[in-house]
Amino acid sequence: MQVRVARIGKPHGIRGEVTVQVLTDSPEDRFVGGAVFDVDPAAQSPLAVRSLTVRSARWNKDILVLGFEEVADRSRAEELRGATLSIDTDEVEDEDDEGWYEHELVGLEVRVDGERVGTVSALQVMPAQDLLVIETPQGEVLVPFVEEIVPEVDPEGGFVVVVPPAGLFELNAEPKEAAEGVPGAEDDGGKGA
């Protein structure tokens, strides 16, 4: 299975380097000299290359800048804009037993207190922490993908367990009284005033 690890941005300088949006948790391990990536071209630009070999990798502030053996100048680098770099997960050693790829998570049932509340629809890789995108009947909910909130991931069983902070899933839900068309009505649990 192919997994995207970066999206190529604009050229950087005149020697064929490009900026990239990193889509992996371990860029220092992935983007090293000699690493080979499969290339999926952007929709608007057909590319002649199907793989790229990293010549150089460096950080410019918070942006990763890559140079490739196959790209010698700025005009060639411009042709790569929008393309994605991928790796085959079958060829990659499993360095992190607790890491998950997006394709392993999408479609899993989301359970809270043993009850189904939705389905994982995507994984957003963010700088600080990743987010699970969960489709619920009330709408899309973003859940921080950290062990305290998502303590169990079971792809074989087809589910993830979420222990949400108070109000996380209710943020997207309509208030009960608005849904019932009774403004100002509150449920007092049958206790009366």
Query: Could you tell me where the beta strands, DSSP code E, fall in 77-114?
Result: 84-88, 109-112
Contact, 9 vs 19, CB < 8 A? yes
**Given this structure, which CATH class describes domain 102-174?**
mainly beta
> If one looks up domain 2-90 in CATH, what number appears?
2.40.30.60
The pLDDT of residue 12 is 94
For the chain, percent helix, then strand, then coil, each to nearest 5? Answer: 15, 40, 50
Tokens of 74: 């700025």
- pLDDT tens figures, 59-85: 988 899 999 999 999 988 998 888 889
The pLDDT of residue 185 is 47
Residue 88's nearest CA partner among 22, 130, 30 is: 30
For the chain, give every residue range classified as CATH 2.30.30.240.
102-174
Tokens of 82: 């929008």
For the chain, give every residue range classified as CATH 2.40.30.60.
2-90
Q: How far is CA 92 from CA 29, 99, 124, in A?
A: 11, 13, 21
Tokens of 151: 């303590």
Contact, 52 vs 36, CB < 8 A? yes
- pLDDT tens figures, 118-147: 999 988 877 778 889 999 988 899 999 888
Mean pLDDT of the residues in the chain: 81
Q: What is the CA radius of gyration of the chain?
A: 22
**Which residue type does 10 have?**
K
Tokens of 157: 């069983």
